[in-house]
C-alpha cells in the first residue's frame, strides 16, 4: 500500500490486526532471539533523536508512525556517520515519507491514518534488512543478515516497542587506529600508505613533525576510501616524523604511530648533482 510500511509481499489484511488477535498475541511475542530490553544508544536522545526517554512500556504494541520515526532518525544518523551512509533504498523510503507528509499536511499532532496501525515483526525485519548491511559494510557487523532477520512464522505477529527499539540498538563508534603505515621518500617528498581500520572512516588526516613529536602539522586530509598521501616540499637535512588519524562523525582514532614515531632524516640523494 502506498506510503505505508509493509513487509514485501504482505497484503493489507496481513498487516491489519483485530483487537482480539492482539489480545491473543500479547503473551506470545517472539523477541527476535534477543533481550527485550535494548541498550539505549546515545543518538536516541541526542538533539533530534527519536526518544526523549525510554517509552514507559516496552511491551506496548508499536505502530507504524513509531517505526517511521525511528527509521528516519536512524537514516540521518547513518548518513552523518558512515562513509556509505544509509543506502539508496532507505534514503529513498524516508524521502518518500517526508514528501507524503508535506503534501498532505500530516504532522506529529495530525498523523497520517496509516501511522496509527500496528506494526508486525516482518515489517521490523524489512527495515532492519536495509540498515544492517550498511553497518556490515562499514565494519560494525561480521555478516549482512543476522540469523534473527530470517523470515519465519512470527513475521505476521504484532511487534512491540521493545522489539522496535532492539532493531535500532546500535551505536557508531570512532574509528580504530590506521595500521601498516609505510613511508617512501623521494628527494624532497614523502609518500605515505596505510591500511584501513575495521570501523567506517569518513576521512584520514596526515600529519608530520620536525621536532620529534613535540608538535604536529597537518599536511593533508583525504577521504575515508583513500589510503595514501604524498607530501612535497620537504627540506633536505631535516628530521620528519609522520602519523595518520582516522575520523568519522563519532570522533577520531588515536594516531597511527604517536609521539614515539621514528625520526627520519632527509639527506641529499647519492645521484644528485653536487655543486663544487
Helix (H) or strand (E) segment spanning residue 49: none
Contact 251, 174 (CB under 8 A): yes
What is the pTM for the complete model shown?
Answer: 0.61
The residue that leads in pLDDT, 34 or 152, is: 152
CATH 2.60.40.10 fits 179-265, yes or no: yes
Cell of 192: 605515505
C-alpha span between 20 and 68 (Å, rounded) = 25
Express the helix, strand and coil content of the chain in percent, nearest 5 each.
30, 20, 50
Alpha-carbon separation of residue 90 from 111, 139, 160 (angstroms): 21, 19, 22
Q: Average of pLDDT values for 180-188? A: 84
- What would the pLDDT profile of 222-276 be if each residue is shown by its tens digit? 988 899 999 888 888 788 888 999 987 778 888 886 433 445 555 444 433 334 3
CA distance 259 to 263: 10
| Core vs surface per residue 66-95: b (16+ CB within 10 A) or e | bbbbbbbbbbbbbbebbebbbbeebbebbe
Of 192, 216, 187, 188, which Cα lies nearest the Cα of 204? 192
Question: How much is the pLDDT for 236?
Answer: 81
For position 198, what pLDDT does the model report?
62
Q: Tell me the pairing of strands 228-231 and 217-223.
A: unpaired
**Contact indicator for 83, 55 with CB cutoff of 8 Å:** no
Reduced to 3 states (helix: H, G, I; strand: E, B; else coil), residue 160 is strand
Q: What is the CA radius of gyration of the chain?
A: 26
Q: How far apart are the C-alpha atoms of 246 and 91, rounded to whole Å?
A: 26
Domain ranges of the chain: 12-167, 179-265
Tell me 148's DSSP state. G
Kindly tell me if the per-residue pLDDT of 4 is higher than 50: no
Q: Is the pLDDT at 210 greater than 80, yes or no?
A: yes
Amino acid at each position: 500500500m502506498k506510503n505505508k510500511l509493509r513487509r514485501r509481499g504482505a497484503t493489507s489484511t496481513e498487516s491489519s490486526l483485530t483487537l482480539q488477535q492482539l489480545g491473543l498475541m500479547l503473551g506470545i511475542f517472539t523477541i527476535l532471539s534477543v533481550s527485550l530490553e535494548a541498550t539505549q544508544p546515545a543518538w536516541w536522545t541526542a538533539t533530534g533523536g527519536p526518544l526523549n526517554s525510554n517509552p514507559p512500556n516496552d511491551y506496548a504494541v508499536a505502530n507504524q508512525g513509531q517505526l517511521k520515526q525511528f527509521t528516519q532518525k536512524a537514516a540521518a544518523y547513518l548518513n552523518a556517520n558512515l562513509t556509505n551512509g544509509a543506502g539508496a533504498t532507505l534514503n529513498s523510503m524516508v524521502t518518500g515519507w517526508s514528501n507524503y507528509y508535506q503534501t498532505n499536511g500530516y504532522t506529529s499532532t495530525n498523523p497520517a491514518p496509516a501511522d496509527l496501525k500496528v506494526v508486525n515483526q516482518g515489517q521490523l525485519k524489512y527495515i532492519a534488512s536495509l540498515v544492517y548491511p550498511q553497518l556490515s559494510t562499514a565494519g560494525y557487523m561480521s555478516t549482512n543478515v543476522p540469523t534473527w532477520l530470517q523470515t519465519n512464522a512470527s513475521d505476521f505477529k504484532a511487534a512491540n516497542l521493545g522489539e522496535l527499539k532492539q532493531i535500532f540498538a546500535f551505536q557508531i563508534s570512532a574509528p580504530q587506529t590506521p595500521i601498516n603505515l609505510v613511508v617512501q621518500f623521494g628527494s624532497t617528498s614523502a609518500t605515505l600508505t596505510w591500511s584501513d581500520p575495521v570501523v567506517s572512516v569518513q576521512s584520514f588526516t596526515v600529519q608530520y613533525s620536525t621536532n620529534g613529536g613535540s608538535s604536529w602539522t597537518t599536511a593533508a586530509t583525504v577521504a575515508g576510501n583513500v589510503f595514501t598521501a604524498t607530501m612535497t616540499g620537504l627540506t633536505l637535512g631535516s628530521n620528519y616524523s609522520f602519523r595518520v588519524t582516522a575520523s568519522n562523525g563519532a570522533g577520531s582514532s588515536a594516531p597511527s604511530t604517536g609521539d614515539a614515531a621514528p625520526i627520519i632524516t632527509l639527506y641529499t640523494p647519492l645521484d644528485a648533482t653536487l655543486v663544487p
